[in-house]
Structure 1
Amino acid sequence: MILQDPAGLWGSKEQGQPWLELSADGKVAGSDGCNRITGTWSGSEELEFGALASTKMYCEGVDDWLSRAATAKLEEGNKMLVLDANGEELGTLAYGGSNS
């Protein structure tokens, strides 16, 4: 089953883990595991991210793939497939729960 409302936490806020939190008002906040990410989002099963901004700290051993997100697709099993501007797969985030 695919979630009807993508708002909520995707990924894990544990230290060094990538995550995005989609707010119902269209704002997105997150982290690639090191750098903070902010921006906007729209869509339902296919999401578009508007101009994500990211801090640029150097973090050894952290893959910054999430900061290159342009779009995402929600998939079975409550997974978000994150894609770059060319439609190339960057990674996946698991649904972590609704916003509180």
Structure 2
Amino acid sequence: MGAEGEPYLSFAPDGTLSGYDGCNDVNGRWTQDPDGHITFSEVSLTATVCDGVDTWLSKGRSVTIADDFLYINGAAGSPIGGLPPSP
């Protein structure tokens, strides 16, 4: 979990994911293919409107892990942002 108010994603062993985009809670499911590619499904989020908050994380549909950094990919498959590992 990130610092208070900071975006984060958490991946549970049962295939669920939860997180926070700086404004809304993000929930869904995740799967990992044999090559390590992680995709999201059944993504939902709360519908809070927050002025001045970039809610890029809620647009994520997959992730790529490289150099201990989590790159969040949008619907087109290209990175839209990233998250460092939790301390």
TM-score using structure 1 length: 0.78
Aligned to 1:28: 17
Give the Cα–Cα distance (whole angstroms) in 2 for the partners of residues 60 and 49 of structure 1.
26
Deviation, structure 1 residue 32: 0.1
In structure 2, the gaps of 5 or more residues are none
In structure 1, the gaps of 5 or more residues are 1-8
Aligned 8 A contact 1:29 1:38 in 2: yes
Partner SS, residue 66 of structure 1? helix
Number of residue pairs aligned between Structure 1 and Structure 2 = 85
Out of 38, 46, 67, the residue aligned to residue 55 of structure 1 is 46
Q: Deviations over 1:16-59 (max 9, x none)?
A: 21101100111001010110000001116311011210111111
Which runs of 4 or more aligned residues in structure 1 lie more than 2 Å from their structure 2 counterparts after TM superposition? none
- By relative contact order (CA 8 Å, sep 6+), the higher-ranking structure is 1
Aligned to 2:77: 87
Tell me the C-alpha RMSD between the 2 structures: 1.4
Percent identical among aligned pairs is 29
Give the Cα–Cα distance (whole angstroms) in 2 for the partners of residues 26 and 91 of structure 1.
22
- Larger deviation, residues 36-45 vs 20-29: 36-45
